[in-house]
Amino acid sequence: MSLRLGDAAPNFKAQTTAGEIDFYEYLGNGWGVLFSHPADYTPVCTTELGKTALLGSEFARRNVKVLAVSVDPLDKHEGWVKDINETQNTTVNFPIIADADRNVATLYDMIHPNASATATVRSLFVIGPDKAVKLIITYPASTGRNFTEVLRVIDSLQLTANHSVATPANWTHGEDVIIVPSVSTEDAIKKFPKGVKVVKPYLRYTPQPDL
Ligand code: BEZ
């Protein structure tokens, strides 16, 4: 049974390039990104892990721990990490799980048999501090993910977890946000002192409240 938004993220212990990890202990009280890719020593995956490493300070600033999953063994990861560092001008600064027994891939339904019988697809899960699944994205092997978009969604998730707002299409940090329908305009005016712009009774904007 595949995971859905709001489900508890399954915990696991796994061998990684940083030693054995208990997923929940690794996450602590912060946020997490768990993501799989088809295989080591493949070109698109090399760029994805490189880009994630280059964005390391952006993930850290948001209190997000990153963990990659690959069904290849540890010794293969170690050689591949050297290639990623060299070709992508970075230092991979997050662990990569050696999921040779497919335990994590199975728990998170990362193998889609109609895409490949053995390789994981490009699955990505954002996990909240409550260990619930907040975002699920699935890309095919042929398309590398946009990790700036992942950070953008995390900005939205972290904002909307604490304020009665939602973020509009293509929103980025700092732009106006939408007041959720469950808040009346009368209450919104009290709740959002920076101002409420009513475009339609159901479409109301306010400046981002946590700035
Ligand atoms: C890649 O990561 O480059 C890749 C992996 C499997 C199929 C196609 C591309």
**DSSP line for 71-100:** SS-HHHHHHHHHHHHHHHTS---S-EEE-T
From the candidates 21, 33, 34, 45, give the one annotated as an active-site residue.
45
Q: Domain count of the chain?
A: 2
DSSP assignment of 95-130, as one string?
Answer: -EEE-TT-HHHHHTT---TTT-SSS--EEEEEE-TT
Q: Does the predicted model carry a pTM greater than 0.85?
A: yes
Q: What mean pLDDT do residues 143-156 have?
A: 98
**Claim to verify: residue 19 and residue 73 sit in the same structural domain:** yes
Is position 45 annotated as part of the catalytic site? yes
- At 5, is the pLDDT very low, low, confident or very high (cuts 50, 70, 90)? very high
- At 1, is the pLDDT very low, low, confident or very high (cuts 50, 70, 90)? low
**Claim to verify: residue 167 and residue 104 sit in the same structural domain:** no
Q: pLDDT, tens digit, for every residue of 156-165? A: 999 999 999 9
Shortest-distance Cα residue to atom 1 of ligand 1? 44
Q: In angstroms, rounded to a whole number, what is the distance separating the alpha carbons of residues 123 and 140?
A: 9
pLDDT given for residue 105 in this prediction: 97
Of 111, 145, 179, the residue at which a domain comes to its end is 145
Q: pLDDT, tens digit, for every residue of 180-189? A: 999 999 999 9
**Claim to verify: residue 111 and residue 193 sit in the same structural domain:** no
Main-chain dihedrals φ then ψ at residue 153, nearest 5 degrees: -65, -40
Q: What is the CATH number of the domain that holds 88?
A: 3.40.30.10
Angle at the Cα of 210 from the Cα atoms of 204 and 211, rounded to 5 degrees: 100
Q: pLDDT, tens digit, for every residue of 88-147? A: 999 999 999 999 999 999 999 999 999 999 999 999 999 999 999 999 999 999 999 999
Radius of gyration of the chain (CA): 19
Report the atom number in ligand 1 closest to the C-alpha of 39.
Answer: 5
Main-chain dihedrals φ then ψ at residue 100, nearest 5 degrees: -60, -30
Shortest-distance Cα residue to atom 6 of ligand 1? 141
Provide, rounded to the nearest whole percent, the portion of the chain with pLDDT above 90. 99
**Who lines ligand 1 at CB under 6 A?**
38-39, 42-45, 141-142
**Claim to verify: residue 67 and residue 167 sit in the same structural domain:** no
Report the atom number in ligand 1 closest to the C-alpha of 43.
Answer: 3
Q: What is the CATH number of the domain that holds 184?
A: 3.30.1020.10
Residue 211 lies in a domain: no
Range of the domain at 137: 13-145
Provide, rounded to the nearest whole percent, the portion of the chain with pLDDT above 70. 100
